[in-house]
Every structure is written in structure tokens, then in C-alpha cells.
Amino acid sequence: MENILVIGANGKTGRIVSKILRDSNKYTTYAMIRNEVQQNYFENQGIKTRIGDLEKDFSDAFKGMDKVIFAAGSGGSTGDEKTIAVDQKGAIRAIELAKAHKLQKFVMLSSMGTDDPSQMKGLELYLRAKKAADDFLRESQMPYTIVQPGALTDDKGADKVEIAQKLNKSGKISREDVAYALVLSLNLETAKNKSFELLTGNQDLEKALKTF
Ligand SMILES: NC(=O)c1ccc[n+]([C@@H]2O[C@H](COP(=O)([O-])OP(=O)(O)OC[C@H]3O[C@@H](n4cnc5c(N)ncnc54)[C@H](OP(=O)(O)O)[C@@H]3O)[C@@H](O)[C@H]2O)c1
């Protein structure tokens, strides 16, 4: 069994990721949460927790872990300061800690548009922060996968996607499909050291990830 630290586990995507991992027979899930009151939600479902806040010292959360999925984010209702603190500095610190603890894989939930933030009016600062973390990961020599989805929805997963390094269009995808892509990326050789954009499409998710 591999020990997987899910950062941002209490978020909409993070909760789905944590359940997929729990239901697999390959992984032990450790949900990183920043507030003890969130502990019951996970422990009631048989999911272990680690307390850690990306804006503080969260190094203890990495002890004994094999791989990490980063699904945290400051969200749209906080200011620029939080975006830099969480999406950029927090993510970069998580990569440094993963490397220091000799983890085997870092799977990053990023976003479409990070390649050229100037093209997305109103989202430039957020996308520049995400890009800084993505670039840091690419250069970290840590095995990685960077998943760059379009707009996230709460729809049920379609299990059908469109995937490419660059899709050259905008669109949507459900958090459930993104969560499956993040989990599959933990071990797929075809996803190793790759970044890819992801939208709802016509190809089976797992097949698409194995062949793109
Ligand atoms: N929304 C979109 O359309 C879209 C599109 C493409 C990519 N993305 C990316 O996908 C990510 C996940 O989306 P989502 O909707 O699932 O996010 P979400 O529901 O807002 O969840 C974000 C999680 O990050 C956690 N977090 C925030 N600050 C933290 C800190 N200082 N320390 C530890 N954890 C912290 C939150 O913790 P609490 O639960 O304690 O608040 C929450 O659990 C986004 O952050 C974004 O980067 C989003």
C-alpha cells in the first residue's frame, strides 16, 4: 500500500480524491486538513488525517508519505495576498517538502491558462501564481504530473475526456473526472513528468491517459 498525502483534501475536488483513494486497494489516504473540526468528516469514512496549513509549518504532514496530490487553492473569494501565499508559496513549499522527504511522485492540480496568463483577463495573478508553482515542480527533479483542467463543475463524472498537452480551446470538466485523473496519474508511466490539459470529451478517461 502506498501512503498518499492529499493536500486540500477538504475542498470539493480533494474530498472526491480522498474517497477514490480510500476505495482503492492500492493506497492509504492521508487527508491534509488545516482545522481539527474537519477531522470527523474524514475519520467517519475511514480516512486518516494530518493537520497542516500551507501558510504555516506543515512539514510533519509529510512523514511516512510515498506520494502527494495537491488539490488546494485559496479560492476566488480571497485577495491577491492569499493567492500568492497558498497557490504559489504554499505549493512551492509542498514541492520542497516532498523532495526533502524523498517522496516518489507529486501530482499537481493546476489549471488551463497557466501557459500564458496574460491571455486570461482578470485571472492573470492567479494563473501566474499557479504557473510559478508548476514551473518550480517541472524543474524540481521530483517525478510529477501536472493536470490542467478547464472550468470545474459539480456534475457527475462522465468518464469521457479530451486530453492533450495543449487543447487550444476552453471548456468544462467535472471535479469527479479531474479527481480520477489525479489518482490515475499517481502510477501511470504515460503521465510521468507530463503536463496536460483536460476537458470533457469523447475518450474514456483511463484510456486517454494511457495513450495521449
Ligand atoms: N474552479 C475552477 O473552475 C478551477 C479550474 C481549474 C483549476 N482549478 C484549481 O482546482 C483547485 C481545486 O478546486 P476546488 O473547487 O476543489 O477547490 P476548493 O473547494 O476551494 O478547495 C480548496 C481547498 O484548499 C484548502 N486550502 C486553502 N488554503 C489552505 C491553506 N492555507 N492550507 C491548507 N489548505 C488550504 C481549503 O481548505 P478549507 O477546506 O479548510 O477551506 C480547501 O479544502 C483550485 O484551487 C484551483 O487551483 C479550479
How do residues 23-62 score in pLDDT, each as one tens digit? 998 999 999 999 999 999 999 999 999 999 999 999 999 9
DSSP assignment of 35-77 equals: -GGGHHHHHTTT-EEEE--TTS--GGGGTT-SEEEE-----TT
C-alpha to C-alpha distance for 54 and 171, rounded to whole angstroms: 29
Mean pLDDT of the chain: 96
The residue among 150, 182, 147 whose CA lies nearest residue 165 is 147
Pocket of ligand 1 (CB under 6 A): 8, 10-14, 34-35, 53-55, 71-75, 86, 90, 109, 111, 149, 151-152, 175
C-alpha to C-alpha distance for 124 and 153, rounded to whole angstroms: 21
| Grid cell listed for 70 | 495537491
Contacts of 112 (CB under 8 A, 6+ apart): 148, 149, 150, 167, 170, 197
Question: Is the pTM above the cut of 0.95?
Answer: yes
Confirm whether 126 is a catalytic residue.
yes
Tell how far the Cα of 34 is from the centroid of ligand 1, in angstroms: 12
| Grid cell listed for 155 | 456534475
pLDDT exceeding 90 applies to what percent of the chain?
Answer: 94
User: Per-residue pLDDT for 122 more than 90?
Assistant: no
The residue among 176, 179, 184 whose CA lies nearest residue 208 is 184
Find the catalytic residue in 27, 30, 126, 144: 126
- Angle in degrees, CA 17, 28, 107, rounded to 5: 45
pLDDT band at 114 (very low <50, low <70, confident <90, very high): very high
Q: Hey, which of 34, 39, 83 would you mutate to test ligand 1's pocket, going by the most ligand atoms within 8 Å of its Cβ? A: 34
Q: Which amino acid is at 37?
A: V
Contacts of 93 (CB under 8 A, 6+ apart): 54, 58
Is the Cβ–Cβ distance between 124 and 209 less than 8 Å?
no
User: Per-residue pLDDT for 121 more than 90?
Assistant: no
Q: What is the pLDDT of residues 83-92, one digit of tens each?
A: 999 999 999 9
The CATH homologous superfamily to which domain 2-211 belongs is NAD(P)-binding Rossmann-like Domain (3.40.50.720)
- Please compute the mean of the pLDDT values over residues 70-84 and round it to a whole number: 93
- Angle in degrees, CA 184, 52, 105, rounded to 5: 30
